[in-house]
Amino acid sequence: MLTEKEIHDVPETQLDMSRLPQHIAIIMDGNGRWAQARGMERAAGHVEGVTTVRRITEECSRLGIGYLTLYAFSTENWNRPQAEVDALMHLIATAIERETPDLIKNNVRLRVIGDRSRMPADTLARLERCVRDTSGGSGLTLVLAISYSSRWEITDAARRIAAEAAAGRLDPASITDDTVARNLATAFMPDPDLLIRTGGDMRVSNFLLWQIAYSEIYITDIYWPDFNAYDLRRAISDYQSRQRRFGLTGEQVQ
Ligand code: FPP
């Protein structure tokens, strides 16, 4: 573990650039508490959270990370007060539209995972325009999980696999974990190597449950609006200090 002094001082040279996580997934939590601690409306925390999205996307892009998946809006978030839901949808759509030219300039490709059928038409249209306009990006892939939950995703995959079997195109005996993975919304990318959660809660909140089977988990008390490039590098440094065993013994891995 790093000392407090080192927390805000992880020079790049301390990172092993040949062993960076290929895919980082983040549960961006603590926007509401960040705002409330300052006597502000929760929405102000989400607005500040967008600045962090930009900062962390830039840092991942600069470091050469392949995939960054951000949990922007869960299936359960639809049950928040309508005003907050509307504000979040609007914020995501306008931020993405505003950032599209910079995403293109930085070679970032946007992808969206989640239940599109529940998204407001306007939000969906703006997201899909950005996905289309950035599709040529060959650098970082930024994946926004919006109206997403793992149980939705796995249920949806099960439904499609069952339909294939019922139609006689798939033998149930031939179904493997690869069949399931290929039917998930995340089929186009590798599983996360590193899962970060800000805001201090020790849970995974219905996020990428299948995909994080062997991810390294890093939880920080820092609220998402305060999370910065140093904090990200600290998380990566911590990740690099761990031995990933994938169910094997330490000796086998060595
Ligand atoms: C959790 O904080 C955060 C969210 C539900 C929304 C996160 C969304 C953003 C930061 C905007 C994303 C924008 C783009 C462009 C991707 P919380 O409200 O649950 O915080 P709390 O736990 O302190 O209440």
pLDDT tens figures, 194-251 = 999 999 999 999 999 999 999 999 999 999 999 999 999 999 999 999 987 888 888 8
pLDDT tens figures, 87-122 = 999 999 999 999 999 999 999 999 999 999 999 999
Structure tokens, 82: 């309508």
Asked whether 72 lines ligand 1 (CB < 6 A), one says: yes
Q: What gap in Å lies between CA 224 and CA 251, rounded to an integer? A: 38
pLDDT tens figures, 35-70 = 999 999 999 999 999 999 999 999 999 999 999 999
Asked whether 26 lines ligand 1 (CB < 6 A), one says: no
For residue 253, what pLDDT band results from cuts at 50, 70 and 90? confident
Residue 251: its pLDDT value, please? Answer: 86
Residue 244: its pLDDT value, please? Answer: 79
- Smallest CA-to-CA distance from 108 within 53, 147, 153 is with 53
> What is the pTM assigned to this prediction?
0.93
Asked whether 205 lines ligand 1 (CB < 6 A), one says: no
- Smallest CA-to-CA distance from 109 within 69, 72, 147 is with 69
Asked whether 127 lines ligand 1 (CB < 6 A), one says: no
For residue 8, what pLDDT band results from cuts at 50, 70 and 90? low
Residue 12: its pLDDT value, please? Answer: 62
Structure tokens, 100: 């599209």
Q: What gap in Å lies between CA 254 and CA 246, rounded to an integer? A: 12
User: What is the CA(176)–ligand 1 centre distance, in A?
Assistant: 35
Residue 1 has pLDDT above 90, yes or no: no
Asked whether 222 lines ligand 1 (CB < 6 A), one says: no
Residue 135 has pLDDT above 90, yes or no: yes
Contact 161, 179 (CB under 8 A): yes
Residue 3 has pLDDT above 60, yes or no: no
User: What is the CA(158)–ligand 1 centre distance, in A?
Assistant: 29
Give the up-direction half-sphere exposure of residue 47: CA atoms within 13 A in the CB hemisphere.
7
3-state secondary structure labels for all residues of 106-124 = CCCEEEEECCHHHCCHHHH
Q: Which atom of ligand 1 is nearest to the CA of 225?
A: 10
User: What is the CA(56)–ligand 1 centre distance, in A?
Assistant: 14
Sign of torsion over alpha carbons 126, 129, 131, 133: negative
For ligand 1, atom 3, name the residue with the nearest CA: 29
For residue 14, what pLDDT band results from cuts at 50, 70 and 90? confident
Catalytic residue numbers read: 29, 77
Residue 9: its pLDDT value, please? Answer: 61
Q: Phi/psi zone of residue 16: left (φ > 0), alpha (ψ -120 to 50 degrees), beta?
A: beta
